[in-house]
């Protein structure tokens, strides 16, 4: 498998420009992009006619295993949702549920064109097992919470180091491990200081939730006398290796801090809208040159992992919030979901664009559908008209994970039936 | 075809309650819903296992033929979009383009579970021809604009009457014709008065755009000294037969007028967000008991006709705008897209719910997909997780338009290729 070559012929390639061409994958890399390729031999030949070829989409904020809780609690106030539904079930989670939910998420992501993601949850070696089997690329982190409790904090340190030790740089380098302090309101300053130190020492990135709700900002202000990003900056936590999810409630000076410290953001519009958290000032941050990417968050607050849908809703939300239809143009939001995502995950040297020498993380979208007719600006169609179900073929790290809508590595029926059973078992506990 | 019977076995029926049962269609009607049906004979037997059965979705504001302009102009200010892109091309439209675009829209709507719609455009006998061939149900209206010009006004009267004469109650009653004054800012009071009189006389409904943008409200206030719905009420235009699209910028007193006069509203969240028109106070109107329905608007400002997507985005937009996750619950937005739509179109006696005696406008959605696993609350999955592509089978007026994702009445390949050619021809003019 590792040394196979794949030729994708006569397709519309969305690279640094948009052109009709052919592309060769050898081993795990894109080795040639050239019109004259079409007559060469390759182990696998894919006809790209009628399709567009894009970088695999990058989902920069997930809780994969929460697919098991999809549709479990909708339309509730945030505290009811968390305290009466999500937390009690999460308290009963075992590794087997996390594994089944993560596999289900991998099937869903592959089928909708995502090749890389950034996941925070528990039992992360079980997530790593699912990722390894799926052929996808992922950064995973154990979600750490101490609520100021020293015993709990020490246990979180231990578990985080165990996951790094066991999983970092495994699966041919497809799996990386990050440190995952949950949020400034659930983690003590001691915990955050330890994370900062360990991240420097071990050269692993940091994944954290910041400023998701207005209530959280008030809480941090009361506790630390500063807004969340100001507080994190003050304790020296913010560097270019920090990926902050949500970032909804931001002051002007916090936006400047984010920009100056080169913090990466994961914008999560669907989850922020569904939970009524608020509207992140994304258009303004884009103007200032902040590193922006897109994430779906968990399926319990979305309720799917479809990055094509996330792109559309991101653009729509910013346009109406700013009463300006020119903000978050199709090309800009597409960049957030591809190159921006790779940058956020620290893997932009390897992936995120279609270029010779990069890892072959490639998605073909079939444009021969009524809702994509007439064929016109492909990026507009991808952002505003397409759906996950239009994804035709997915390649990650040079391996074909799906071809003509059929999964080749994971067994879809088996994964769905395992997940159905696992969800029943979890809720019956 | 007309006398055939269709048995749908062992499916989850979303009716007045949600239950596993079987359903029989005879001729154009739902005749039995009963568990014991599963062993009877029928001309066609459909296995509904793993699927949910819902009323055909009703799209209450469309410009079908604008599918030809999908992706033609995105991310522009509204006046640039209209004056530099949409209006110039629309000036070159011929009946053949309108026909090709409407057929493309019918294919797209059927494939995403819509069985009925409300369309306003030009060359409406060409739209009627497409609707007749498609097997769908539609209310169509010639879009009238006079900008105060008497000659133009008379021509609009003539064309409107011609379309009513030619098309009203045709195609076994599937096609009805409405009067379509475009909007208060493009139509003179004389035109609106004539429409009101003719609607009473001919017993046809009215389809109009009202208060889509804040600029429009200012314009009407300057011209008539009243806000749009106040002005329309003052001239006696508003009755229960009026379906107003958009209704974004509303005062409290206008909401009361809408409620008191039993005006029907078509809420168009995706278009209103994409063009940055604003956020309609839907949650507040729902509380007051206003008749609400959902529409996609034309594909040039959406850019698709997927009512499942429209439901999700409607709920998300209201939740974040009100900072309240409990507004526009899944069940409420589902009702807007089904029964609310039928009421808006004045066909709630015939369709909009799954009940014995109603016309067989039925959609089966396949729930055996990763993004719909685990199977749980089906209405939550339909609103928050499903996509048009999950629609499996569509029946309208007792005729199967699509079975297991294959179109049976229209020839998809042919329609797509005609639309592609027609769009090229239109833009080359």
Could you read off the pLDDT of A82-113 as tens digits, one per residue? 999 999 999 999 999 999 999 999 999 999 99
Residue in B108, B384, B390 nearest the CB of A371: B108
The average pLDDT across A251-270 equals 98
CA atoms within 13 A on the CB side of B426: 31
Residue in A373, A375, A416 nearest the CB of B373: A416
The nearest CA of chain A is from the CA of B77 a distance in Å of 6
The nearest CA of chain A is from the CA of B370 a distance in Å of 5
Q: What is the ipTM of this complex?
A: 0.98
Q: Which residue of B has its CA nearest to A367?
A: B416
Q: State whether B292 and B392 are in the same domain.
A: no
Identify the CATH number of the domain in which residue B24 sits: 2.30.40.10
The average pLDDT across B202-226 equals 98
Is residue B242 one of the residues assigned to a domain?
yes
CA distances from A5 to A28, A30, A40, A43, B150 (A): 9, 10, 11, 5, 70
Q: State whether A22 and A107 are in the same domain.
A: no
Alpha helices in A241-306 (DSSP H): 252-260, 269-274, 282-288
Whether residues A276 and B319 touch (CB distance < 8 A) is answered with yes
* B389 interaction partners in chain A (CB closer than 8 Å): 387, 389-390
In tens, the pLDDT along B374-408 reads 999 999 999 999 999 999 999 999 999 999 999 99
Identify the CATH number of the domain in which residue B231 sits: 3.20.20.140
Q: How confident is the model at residue A79 (pLDDT cuts 50, 70, 90)?
A: confident
For testing the chain A interface, which of B213, B325, B375, B418 should be mutated: the one with the most A CBs within 10 Å? B325
Coil, strand or helix: which one is B123?
A: coil
The average pLDDT across A202-206 equals 98
In tens, the pLDDT along B20-63 reads 999 999 999 999 999 888 778 899 999 999 999 999 999 999 99
For testing the chain A interface, which of B62, B71, B80, B326 should be mutated: the one with the most A CBs within 10 Å? B71
Q: State whether B239 and B381 are in the same domain.
A: no
What does the buried/exposed string (b/e) look like for A323-354 if buried means 16 or more CB atoms within 10 Å of the residue's CB?
Answer: eebebbbbebbbbbbbbbbbbbbbbbebbbbb
Percentages of chain A per state (helix, strand, coil), in multiples of 5: 45, 25, 35
The nearest CA of chain A is from the CA of B401 a distance in Å of 15
The nearest CA of chain A is from the CA of B22 a distance in Å of 24
The nearest CA of chain B is from the CA of A202 a distance in Å of 36
Q: Above 80 in pLDDT, residue B243? A: yes
* A316 interaction partners in chain B (CB closer than 8 Å): 270, 273-274, 313, 317
Is residue A429 one of the residues assigned to a domain?
no
CA atoms within 13 A on the CB side of A217: 16
Q: What percentage of chain A exceeds 70 in pLDDT? A: 99
Q: Which residue of B has its CA nearest to A407?
A: B370
Q: State whether A254 and A284 are in the same domain.
A: yes
Q: State whether B201 and B297 are in the same domain.
A: yes
Residue A260 carries which DSSP code?
H
Q: State whether B380 and B296 are in the same domain.
A: no
Q: List the structure tokens of A199.
A: 């991240």
Average pLDDT, chain A: 97
For testing the chain B interface, which of A75, A82, A213, A388 should be mutated: the one with the most B CBs within 10 Å? A75
Whether residues B72 and A376 touch (CB distance < 8 A) is answered with yes
Residue in B270, B315, B419 nearest the CB of A373: B419
Is residue B83 one of the residues assigned to a domain?
yes
* A279 interaction partners in chain B (CB closer than 8 Å): 320
Give ∠ CA B281-B286-B291 in degrees, rounded to 5: 105
Whether residues B274 and A319 touch (CB distance < 8 A) is answered with yes
In tens, the pLDDT along B89-111 reads 999 999 999 999 999 999 999 99
Whether residues A371 and B274 touch (CB distance < 8 A) is answered with no
Is residue A260 one of the residues assigned to a domain?
yes
Whether residues A75 and B326 touch (CB distance < 8 A) is answered with yes
Q: State whether A250 and A397 are in the same domain.
A: no
* A374 interaction partners in chain B (CB closer than 8 Å): 68, 70-71, 419-420, 423-424
CA atoms within 13 A on the CB side of A416: 15
For testing the chain B interface, which of A65, A86, A371 should be mutated: the one with the most B CBs within 10 Å? A371
Whether residues B74 and A317 touch (CB distance < 8 A) is answered with no
Do the Cβ atoms of B41 and B325 come closer than 8 Å?
no
Q: Above 70 in pLDDT, residue B2? A: no
* A85 interaction partners in chain B (CB closer than 8 Å): none
The nearest CA of chain B is from the CA of A244 a distance in Å of 21
Q: How confident is the model at residue A48 (pLDDT cuts 50, 70, 90)?
A: very high
Average pLDDT, chain B: 97
pTM, rounded to two decimals: 0.98
Q: State whether B251 and B113 are in the same domain.
A: yes
* A388 interaction partners in chain B (CB closer than 8 Å): 371, 387
Do the Cβ atoms of B356 and B32 come closer than 8 Å?
yes
Strand segments, DSSP code E, in A124-168 are 137-144
Residue in B273, B299, B325 nearest the CB of A78: B325
> What's the pLDDT score for residue A36?
87
On the 0-12 / 13-18 / 19+ scale of CB atoms within 10 A, B46 is: buried
> What's the pLDDT score for residue B41?
87
Q: Which residue of A has its CA nearest to B105?
A: A370
> What's the pLDDT score for residue B16?
86
Q: State whether A364 and A382 are in the same domain.
A: yes
The nearest CA of chain B is from the CA of A381 a distance in Å of 6
* A302 interaction partners in chain B (CB closer than 8 Å): 384
Is residue B352 one of the residues assigned to a domain?
no
Q: Which residue of B has its CA nearest to A102?
A: B370
Residue in B277, B325, B330 nearest the CB of A77: B325
> What's the pLDDT score for residue B40?
86
Whether residues B370 and A270 touch (CB distance < 8 A) is answered with no
Q: State whether B71 and B81 are in the same domain.
A: yes
The average pLDDT across B10-23 equals 95
The nearest CA of chain B is from the CA of A231 a distance in Å of 25
The nearest CA of chain A is from the CA of B312 a distance in Å of 9
> What's the pLDDT score for residue B78?
84
Is residue A426 one of the residues assigned to a domain?
no
The average pLDDT across A44-54 equals 97
Residue in A72, A273, A387 nearest the CB of B376: A72
**Tally of domains within chain A:** 2
In tens, the pLDDT along A160-175 reads 999 999 999 999 999 9
Is residue B19 one of the residues assigned to a domain?
yes
Whether residues A320 and B70 touch (CB distance < 8 A) is answered with no
Q: State whether A48 and A170 are in the same domain.
A: no
- The closest of A101, A224, A124, A255 to A180, measured between CA atoms, is A124
> What's the pLDDT score for residue A41?
87
* A380 interaction partners in chain B (CB closer than 8 Å): 71, 74, 303
Return d(Cα B291, Cα B107) in angstroms, integer. Answer: 28
* φ and ψ at residue B191, rounded to 5 degrees: -60, -45
Q: Which residue of A has its CA nearest to B313?
A: A313
Whether residues A373 and B270 touch (CB distance < 8 A) is answered with no
Other CB atoms closer than 10 Å to residue B396's CB: what's the count?
A: 26
What DSSP line would sit under B237-255, residue for residue?
A: ---TTEEEEE--S--HHHH
Q: State whether A133 and A276 are in the same domain.
A: yes
Domain of B202?
57-344
Strand B57-62 relative to strand B391-396: parallel, antiparallel, unpaired? unpaired
Coil, strand or helix: which one is A374?
A: coil
* A75 interaction partners in chain B (CB closer than 8 Å): 325-326, 329-330
> What's the pLDDT score for residue A2?
54
* B111 interaction partners in chain A (CB closer than 8 Å): 370-371
The nearest CA of chain A is from the CA of B17 a distance in Å of 18
- The closest of A212, A206, A211 to A181, measured between CA atoms, is A206
Do the Cβ atoms of B57 and B93 come closer than 8 Å?
no
Is residue B68 one of the residues assigned to a domain?
yes
In tens, the pLDDT along B255-270 reads 999 999 999 999 999 9
The nearest CA of chain A is from the CA of B308 a distance in Å of 12
User: What's the longest Cα–Cα distance across chain B?
Assistant: 67
The average pLDDT across A12-32 equals 96
Distance in Å from the first CA to the final CA of chain B? 42
């Amino acid at each position: 498998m590792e040394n196979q070559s794949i030729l994708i012929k006569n397709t519309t390639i969305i690279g640094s420009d948009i052109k009709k061409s052919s592309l060769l994958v050898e081993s795990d890399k894109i080795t040639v992009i050239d019109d004259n390729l079409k007559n060469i031999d390759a182990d696998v030949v894919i006809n790209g006619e009628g399709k567009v070829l894009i970088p695999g989409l990058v989902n920069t904020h997930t809780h994969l295993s929460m697919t098991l809780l999809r549709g479990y609690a909708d339309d509730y106030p945030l505290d009811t949702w968390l305290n009466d539904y999500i937390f009690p079930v999460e308290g009963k989670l075992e590794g087997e549920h996390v594994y089944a939910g993560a596999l289900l998420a991998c099937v869903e992501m592959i089928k909708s064109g995502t090749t890389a993601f950034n996941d925070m949850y528990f039992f992360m070696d079980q997530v790593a097992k699912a990722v390894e089997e799926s052929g996808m690329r992922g950064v995973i982190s154990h979600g750490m919470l101490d609520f100021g409790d020293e015993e709990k904090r020490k246990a979180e340190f231990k578990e985080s180091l165990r996951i790094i030790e066991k999983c970092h740089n495994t699966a041919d380098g497809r799996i990386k491990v990050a440190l995952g302090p949950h949020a400034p309101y659930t983690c003590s300053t001691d915990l955050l200081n330890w994370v900062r130190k360990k991240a420097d020492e071990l050269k692993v990135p940091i994944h954290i939730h910041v400023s998701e709700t207005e209530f959280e900002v008030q809480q941090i202000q009361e506790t630390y006398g500063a807004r969340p990003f100001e507080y994190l900056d003050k304790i020296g936590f913010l560097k270019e290796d920090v990926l902050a999810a949500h970032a909804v409630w931001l002051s002007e000076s916090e936006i400047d801090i984010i920009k100056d410290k080169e913090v990466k953001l994961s914008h999560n519009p669907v989850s922020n809208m569904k939970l009524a958290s608020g509207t992140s000032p994304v258009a303004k941050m884009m103007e200032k040159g902040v590193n922006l990417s897109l994430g779906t968050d968990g399926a319990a607050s979305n309720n799917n992992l479809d990055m094509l849908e996330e792109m559309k809703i991101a653009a729509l939300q910013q346009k109406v919030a700013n009463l300006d239809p020119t903000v978050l143009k199709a090309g800009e939001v597409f960049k957030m979901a591809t190159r921006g995502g790779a940058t956020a995950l620290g893997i932009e040297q390897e992936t995120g664009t279609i270029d010779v020498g990069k890892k072959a993380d490639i998605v073909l979208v079939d444009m021969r559908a009524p809702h994509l007719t007439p064929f016109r600006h492909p990026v507009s169609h991808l952002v505003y008209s397409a759906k996950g179900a239009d994804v035709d073929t997915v390649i990650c790290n040079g391996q074909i994970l799906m071809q003509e809508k059929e999964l080749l590595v994971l067994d879809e029926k088996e994964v769905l039936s395992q997940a159905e059973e696992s969800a029943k078992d979890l809720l019956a506990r």
